[in-house]
Structure 1
Amino acid sequence: MDLKNKVAYITGGSKGIGFGVAEKLLKAGMRVAISGRTLKTTEQAAQYLGDSQNVLALESDVTKLSDEKAAIEKILDTWGQLDVVLANAGVGHFAPIDQMSDEQWHQMINTNLNGVFHTLKASVEALKKSKGYYMTLASLAGTNFFASGAGYNATKFGVVGFTQAAMLDLRKYDIKVSTIMPGSVATHFNGNEPDEKDAWKIQPEDIGELVLDLLKMHPRTLPSKIEVRPSRPDKK
């Protein structure tokens, strides 16, 4: 894919992995729309990205299909096309299943799982026109279960299954579909404040490089499920 002036949409793009990917795509010459649940946070992120002509800040709650449809419409009204979508928005609550609240369970299901469906449902016709690329941000928790992770595991296992089935549905339209499954990443996820203690982890910009690698791959080849983890564990 020639990336110059191609248009990407990243959900949850105001910080963490989404922000790191946005930075890399902009440097590669792309136009990037980022969304979050509040316009204030995405506008602040857009200012940090520093390329006002090629960054579009959007407010969208991925748990609502109507919000995602409105976001896609705004992107098309602004730039006339959509070539790459990264469904990145996600939340995590970790507790033994007997202590997990109904609210925590449904927030994860609605954001992590329903959200990726809403993002694809809203963007799929535009991606058919551009023969574009749809990516989801899953996790190694989508294949490895762990104690206190029942809700998070359920959503990420679901994201992996959803994405792989969607890949089979959409490749006849020349839409490429992949899921990225990171291990430990230095982000604000689950209340973490990234600092030197996270230096051993994958950095958000590393995921950005991976996304670029996928976009630049020869169109005859599709890495449909990519596991990525720190090269070495934390030296405690």
Structure 2
Amino acid sequence: MIISDKSPVALITGGSGGLGLVIASTFLKAGYRIVIAGRDATRLEAAQTSLQHAPYVATACADVSEETGAKQAIQTAMVAFNRLDVLINCVGTSDRGLAHQLTIQRLDELIRQNVHSTLLCSAAAIPELENRQGVIVNIGSLASKVGARYLGGYGIAKHALAGLSQQMRLELKPRGVHVGLVNPGPIRRDDAGSRYQSRVDENVPAEAAKPGGGTKIKGLAPETVAIAVLNCVRYRRADMVLPRYLRLLIAVGHISPRLGDWLLLKFTSSKE
């Protein structure tokens, strides 16, 4: 699709790599001008170069888990393109470990990255999004829906994000701003989850280092998740689960917690 100076604008936090960069590329191909926000100037520059649409790609070097950084990212979009139609909150940090061994310090870090960043960026963006009847998309997880094993404080943070997303959706609907939550299962990565090896101790199965904490679900291509995010914007979807068939299993677990626990034990790692 052709991009012009009148094209809509999407801001993607955490857009300098991983899923965020794939989302940025997908929105560019769909005709959006984009702003990618991240903390590392070198990675942002490399990401901007890789996207190959320099006039329509702006970067914001900011820590969006802090109020000043969040406001800076929104201001960058306004200075670069004078409008903001979509905010995609893709900043997040995962974890591995047992819940009862979780430190308050680590939980604070996870909440700051996964929840504070979303709240601060959304609050800063609302006035501009209201002008455009825009959309906020928050990147959740299957861990937003279930309390799977061995994910440390990640499930706590993502459950909080799910609650925040629904509350904002209800509160902002009268103002014309839509808030959606996209909850992907494990996403395929080049490192196959090796980044978690150092966090897995003798009390946690080695499989927990894999994407999704070793859940027995085929990994999603990041491009599949990015298209789901685009569809969330286009059709103003409220809450998406990927892969889709897991929504039924999640619903069953909510109706019957005992059966839900059995399903989680079946689909997640064990010590065997």
Q: What is the TM-score normalised by the length of structure 2?
A: 0.76
- Deviations 1:81-104 (Å, cap 9, x if unpaired)? 000000010001211134333332
What SS class does the counterpart of residue 161 from structure 2 fall into?
A: helix
- Between Structure 1 and Structure 2, the one with more helix by share is 2
CA distance in structure 1 between the partners assigned to 2:234 and 2:117 by the alignment: 26
Aligned to 1:184: 186
CA distance in structure 2 between the partners assigned to 1:207 and 1:97 by the alignment: 28
Aligned to 2:232: 214
Aligned to 1:197: none
Letter in 2 for 1:18: G
Letter in 2 for 1:39: A
Decide whether aligned partners of structure 1 residues 83 and 96 sit closer, same or farther in structure 2, where only a CA change above 3 A counts. Answer: same
Aligned to 1:161: 163
Decide whether aligned partners of structure 1 residues 190 and 175 sit closer, same or farther in structure 2, where only a CA change above 3 A counts. Answer: farther
Aligned ranges for residues 1-236 of structure 1 at < 5 Å?
Answer: 5-187=7-189, 191=195, 200-217=218-235, 222-229=236-243
CA distance in structure 2 between the partners assigned to 1:11 and 1:190 by the alignment: 24
CA distance in structure 2 between the partners assigned to 1:163 and 1:45 by the alignment: 28
CA distance in structure 1 between the partners assigned to 2:50 and 2:103 by the alignment: 36
Q: Give the share of equivalent positions with the same residue, in percent.
A: 24
Following TM superposition, the consecutive aligned residue runs of length 4 or more in structure 1 with deviations greater than 3 angstroms are 187-190, 230-233
Q: CA deviation at 1:230?
A: 8.1
What SS class does the counterpart of residue 55 from structure 2 fall into?
A: coil
Q: CA deviation at 1:204?
A: 1.4
CA contact (8 A) 1:202 1:230 kept: no
Q: CA deviation at 1:150?
A: 4.4
CA RMSD of aligned residues (A): 2.5
- Deviations 1:118-144 (Å, cap 9, x if unpaired)? 110111111011110001001010111
Decide whether aligned partners of structure 1 residues 70 and 61 sit closer, same or farther in structure 2, where only a CA change above 3 A counts. Answer: same
Higher relative contact order (CA 8 A, sep 6+): 1
CA distance in structure 1 between the partners assigned to 2:124 and 2:194 by the alignment: 27
Letter in 2 for 1:133: V
Unaligned residue ranges in structure 2 (runs of 5+): 197-209, 211-217, 247-266, 268-272
CA contact (8 A) 1:19 1:204 kept: no
CA contact (8 A) 1:179 1:226 kept: yes
CA distance in structure 2 between the partners assigned to 1:132 and 1:44 by the alignment: 28
CA contact (8 A) 2:137 2:233 kept: no
Q: CA deviation at 1:208?
A: 1.7
CA contact (8 A) 1:91 1:190 kept: no
Q: CA deviation at 1:78?
A: 1.0
What SS class does the counterpart of residue 88 from structure 2 fall into?
A: strand
CA distance in structure 1 between the partners assigned to 2:118 and 2:234 by the alignment: 23
CA contact (8 A) 2:231 2:237 kept: no
